[in-house]
Amino acid sequence: MSEGSARMSDPTHDMEGRRASRRPFAWLRAFLGLFTFWRIFAVVVLLLILGAMRDDAAPSGPYVARLWIDGLIVDDAGRDALIADLRDDDDVKAVILRINSPGGTTAGSEALYISLRDLAAAKPVVAALGSVAASGGYIAAIGADWIVARGNTMTASIGVVMQYPQLTGLLDRLGIEMKEIKSSPLKASPSPFVEAPAAAIAVQREMVADSYAWFRGLVAERRGLEGAALDAVADGRVVSGRMALDAGLVDVIGGEPQAVAWLRAEHGVTAAPRDAEIEEARQKRLIDLVFSQLGVEAPTFLLREAAGRALSGPRLMSVLD
């Protein structure tokens, strides 16, 4: 066998040749090795976000923010932050509250009312009532400067209620007795498992009366009612929009067109309404997260674009007084 044929059949020589043939692509493999799966995934997510921002971006410029207050009203930090954002946004020239709520917790209604009055100190706020705006829903309405109601809107329900189940009869039937060890007779009372002492009931009545006095005071202040006129509407009854107009609880019968007309006539606001921005904070967090995974800070222009977008469908979850 010749020397040349011996070299060709040498396995070591063949392996070195194959390694040499792949050497021009070694830099590419090393570069790709820098990217782990999570970094590539982060880039894909970023591209999707940028695409959504480009395709779904809402028009910029002055507008009237349409803020939906639906369902049960509870203490909601995200809702209050959104309202503060609308107050501080120079593009927001006014706010229309679209209210469809049967009420809420007294603390949640209080927090919403304070946020709305803070907003109204900066720009015009008008409430447009839907099917129902009762109890805490009406508290939200009087947080506005002007109230529009449908003729058949169920509204008012100016009052406070505290309810708890009483299961002692059922427990007796089942032969179950609930034992308690507590620091004082008023602790955790009333309870569904034992008959409440008279002192505990008296304390609860005091709390209800205090909250009711607060509610009445808001109505008196915001709607200019007092004496017999206030007593007539503040007994907990629900009234229609037409009855509310006669009683001085709302300003006009109608819907959003009447709210828009009032803003134009009284405040010179001609911008068109659109749904309030509610995705701003979440979108900025998403962009920050993607870029943090890449080990760099998000470009400020992306954060500005996220903050400036208005996505449709914000809803404020809000409970029966």
Active site residues: 135, 187
Q: Is 229 exposed, middle or buried (0-12, 13-18, 19+ CB in 10 A)?
A: middle
Segment holding 207, helix H or strand E: helix 198-223
C-alpha gyration radius of the chain: 32
Beta bridge partners of 69: 99, 316
Q: Which of 170, 191, 169 is nearest to 179 (CA)?
A: 191
Q: Would you say how long the chain is, in residues?
A: 321
Cα–Cα distance for residue pair 136/138, rounded to 1 Å:
5
- Angle formed at CA 316 by CA 210 and CA 306, multiple of 5 degrees: 135
Cα–Cα distance for residue pair 83/69, rounded to 1 Å:
11
10 Å Cβ neighbour count for 230?
19
Cα–Cα distance for residue pair 134/63, rounded to 1 Å:
28
Q: Which of 101, 106, 141 is nearest to 215 (CA)?
A: 106
> Which residues have a Cβ under 8 Å from the Cβ of 156 and sit 6 or more positions away?
134, 138, 233, 237, 238, 239, 244, 247, 249
Q: Enumerate helices (H) and strands (E) in the chain, giving the number of each.
A: 14, 9
Six-digit token string for 8: 């060709």
Cα–Cα distance for residue pair 42/26, rounded to 1 Å:
25
